[in-house]
Amino acid sequence: MVAKFPKLKAIVAATAVIATVSLPGSGAAQALSADVLLRDLAQSDASGAAAIDRELQALWARSGSASMDLLLRRGRDAVERGDLQEAVEHLTALTDHAPGFARGWYERARVYFEIGLFGPSVADLERSLALNPQDYNAIYALGVVFEQFRQPERAFEVYQRAKAIHPHHEEVSSALERLRSSVEGREL
């Protein structure tokens, strides 16, 4: 069979590579989609930004693995039920099995913050942002941590970074307005 179709193996391999790169959940296609959505987000009006934000959140919540997506969903469900210890367990399993999935680190950082474990929360946010430096919600969360540590200047800088990516993020805008007078001073 191989003698009749000597190039068949190469053709099948090339087709598999093309199909993998073209899939919506694949890394290359996902990065391209995120880049386009982030560009559109920065240029959109407030109503358009909300729709783009939903698309980005859905895109960033897909790990590419059904079992990892299930762990994420279970972690989020546990948070909604108020079972933060169970949420940490699911999200830790997620970060252990999918260490390259930024959303897992971000979600666990949020839970650690709620529990009052600020050191682990910051560590997870740093890991999340190393994997996805454009995640404006993770950047915002880092600003919240800086505010908790009574570092308004650092929080303000971080919020400005998030605002540059998502100009219509309501929580970021509120945080910037709240901190503006203490960081920039008051007009006389």
Q: What distance lies between CA 126 and its chain's CA centroid? A: 11
Between CA 85 and CA 96 the distance in angstroms is 16
For residue 26, being part of any structural domain is answered with yes
Residue 134 in any domain: the answer is no
Residues in the chain: 188
The pLDDT tens digits for 71-121 are: 999 999 999 999 999 999 999 999 999 999 999 999 999 999 999 999 999
Q: Give a yes or no: residue 41 inside a domain.
A: yes
36 falls within a domain? yes
**What pLDDT score was predicted for residue 69?**
97
Q: How many separate domains does the chain show?
A: 1
Is the CB of residue 106 less than 8 Å from the CB of residue 121? no
Neighbours of 86 (CB within 10 A): 16
Q: In this predicted structure, what is the pLDDT of residue 120?
A: 97
Express as a percent the part of the chain with pLDDT over 70: 81
Q: Decide if 44 is inside a domain.
A: yes
Specify if 29 maps to a domain. Answer: yes
Task: Tell me what the mean pLDDT of segment 43-72 comes to.
Answer: 94
Task: Report d(CA 134, CA 114) in Å as an integer.
Answer: 23
- Note the pTM of the prediction, 2 decimals: 0.79
Segments forming the whole domain that contains residue 34:
8-60
Residue 12, in any domain of the structure:
yes
> What pLDDT digit, counting tens, does each position of 115-148 carry?
999 999 999 999 999 999 999 999 999 999 999 9
118 in any annotated domain: no
Angle between helices 84-97 and 66-81 (to 10 degrees): 160
